[in-house]
Chains A and B, each alone.
Chain A
């Protein structure tokens, strides 16, 4: 089965940096996704990591350590529009389907 943990809530100031951690324990791992979900909207794809290391995409970066069962999403130069829920999802190796963590609600304050 899958066990995916991420913090429930985080608050940060506009312009700052926030790091959202995700730890997972899984019987079969293929890769890890991060999604952003604004209230009342569909999740949107942010990043996908399959190999160890850091993937940078503009203000957002994602890191993966397969041996440690650990990932983080780094949000830099925070903007008010970044206030949203951030979902960590593990892709199963046997069927490539996704198992989601409970999500981290990030609130950006002026």
Chain B
């Protein structure tokens, strides 16, 4: 399955600032996803990063708050904009596995907003 490198692994940010999270995959993949995992909770899909077009956002998530880039088939970024303490969470990218039915996840970015 694909190997995903996600950066940064963790960060502490001031409220009102923005953080960009990078996701690099070692092979070309069609589908890339961004999830949020709030403390003690499960994963919630934020959006699907589409190569060559705008990301597709799930209900409750908007582009102004979570702009996404997908310049090619191996790379994507998620920006958490104008952060507040409620944005403190783990953010994970995910891709479809090429050889199985599963989805592979990056190791996550643990964000704390103070």
Contacts and interface: CB of A to CB of B under 8 A. Distances in A.
Interface of A: 31, 33, 41-45, 48, 50, 87, 89, 97-103
B48 A45 contact: no
Interface residues of B, number: 19
Contacts of B33: 97
A interface: dominant SS:
strand
A18 B101 CA distance: 25
A100 B42 CA distance: 6
B60 to A, nearest CB: 12
Contacts of A103: 41-42
B103 A45 contact: yes
B59 to A, nearest CB: 9
B45 A97 contact: yes
28 contacts: A31-B101, A33-B101, A33-B102, A33-B103, A41-B107, A42-B105, A42-B108, A43-B43, A44-B105, A45-B97, A45-B103, A45-B104, A48-B101, A50-B101, A87-B42, A87-B43, A89-B43, A97-B33, A97-B48, A98-B43, A98-B45, A98-B103, A99-B45, A100-B42, A100-B43, A100-B44, A101-B42, A102-B42
